[in-house]
Structure 1
């Protein structure tokens, strides 16, 4: 699709309205009209129209001066997830991995600069990071993110690296864009990615890609663990084989 067609078909008001919903999602306690206008970069009149439209359609509620998202959005999300038959198929496979290793096994897709969790089997051990289906994490400092970025074409990856917000989450986070490109390239060559305490100190994870019949990366699955439980070498030796086996069984979905 050429740029002229994209521009002609682009609905700016819908984009801004979705942006308002995303801002509300980041503030579960709700926002006032003034707070929304400031955060969204809208006039008070513009923010008011978007917020009242969300209230009228049932996607938001208003209590005095505060607006917040309503449970209706969860219904939409559940409907979408319910139709994602790949993850219904994959859940027992991921559960077997989690049970074998006593660690969490998750799946995610790429969405803008983030990964979005589409399936998660919790481990028996508690991690300080709270994760569930729908959770968004930065792609640049997560194992599934690195693996998903490794599946992008050169131009798309270059665009990501040029625009992404890259911040130090820990002292170990790679923030140099050249070094980050190298880490993503290594993940592409190796066929797996290990992220060592870059998202949070004490947290390590290892991920592999899920590819469809055309060879395109459509998702990634990972195992996350406490650094005290597995060294990086042990993750590659003990966790990677279980992930690769699960990856193969999940990819079989695309050929049945």
Structure 2
């Protein structure tokens, strides 16, 4: 049987473009044109065309000599994550979490500059904005957003913050780059994020990460509660243990399904 390449259905340019993206890693976050060509085993001229195309599309940036990926490549991962049907898989664990805490819970992934809701178990409506699967919120004032931002490599987080134009949605919101960096760094160290009425007055939420089998944050799970029936302390002491347990169960379920 002839191969796809020999029948004309195989796009070598696409293969090479994806190979160039895969050449970047935690050990090699920035590469020169020659290093990319050598890693992918293509000519420097071909590497240059691919890198300039990816730069034009926003997936790569350069400092005139070295190239690195931008957070936009996460959109490629979002297409995959959205196909996992997280709602079906995570549903039982979210229902249990909601029953234990008596509060709404959600799962979101990162599609900068936003988070995208991929699953939700509401109890009562506590926000003025109606949320459902596919709903978007800015990442910076949300607990899930800060957990997801904390999971970014340092250079991608810096790129996001450098271009962010954060607007105060409430008078309690943190909008300065320095302030956001501190809260995101704290979320990375603590393994959770708590937002106290920054997205909407009267709303508190706490979120924990969902990891893949390699330890990378690929989604976030949160519990939201009205300020009249919660405090930051109660969310940490009463809700956070259940939240972390549910996030771990979802991670395990995804791994067993072979998605991660």
Asked whether the two chains share a fold, i.e. TM above 0.5, the reply is yes
Residue 211 of structure 2 corresponds to residue 211 of structure 1: yes
Aligned-pair distance for 1:150? Answer: 0.3
Correspondences of 1:151-162 after superposition (within 5 Å): 151-162=151-162
Correspondences of 1:14-25 after superposition (within 5 Å): none
Q: For residues 172 and 125 of structure 1, what CA distance do their matches in structure 2 show? A: 21
Q: Secondary structure at the match of 1:228?
A: helix
Structure 1: runs of 5 or more not aligned: 13-79
Q: Is residue 103–residue 125 contact of structure 1 (8 Å, CA) maintained in 2? A: no
What is the TM-score normalised by the length of structure 1? Answer: 0.69
Q: Is residue 127–residue 200 contact of structure 2 (8 Å, CA) maintained in 1? A: no
Structure 2: runs of 5 or more not aligned: 1-19, 21-32, 34-46, 58-80
Query: Cα–Cα, structure 1 residues 154 and 206, in superposed 2: closer, same or farther, change >3 Å?
Result: same
Q: Secondary structure at the match of 2:137?
A: strand
Match of 1:119 in 2: 119
- Divergent runs of 4+, >6 A: none
Aligned-pair distance for 1:11? Answer: 8.3
Q: Secondary structure at the match of 1:166?
A: coil
Aligned residues: 189
Residue 53 of structure 2 corresponds to residue 8 of structure 1: yes
What is the TM-score normalised by the length of structure 2? Answer: 0.68
Match of 2:248 in 1: 248
Deviations 1:72-130 (A, max 9, x none): xxxxxxxx85x414432111101111122221110000001110000001113543231
Residue 248 of structure 2 corresponds to residue 234 of structure 1: no
Q: For residues 248 and 56 of structure 2, what CA distance do their matches in structure 1 show? A: 40
Q: For residues 101 and 249 of structure 1, what CA distance do their matches in structure 2 show? A: 16
Q: Is residue 86–residue 119 contact of structure 2 (8 Å, CA) maintained in 1? A: no
Q: Is residue 194–residue 205 contact of structure 1 (8 Å, CA) maintained in 2? A: yes
Q: Is residue 141–residue 199 contact of structure 2 (8 Å, CA) maintained in 1? A: yes
Q: For residues 9 and 244 of structure 1, what CA distance do their matches in structure 2 show? A: 37
Correspondences of 1:1-256 after superposition (within 5 Å): 1=20, 4=48, 5-8=50-53, 81=82, 83-124=83-124, 126-256=126-256
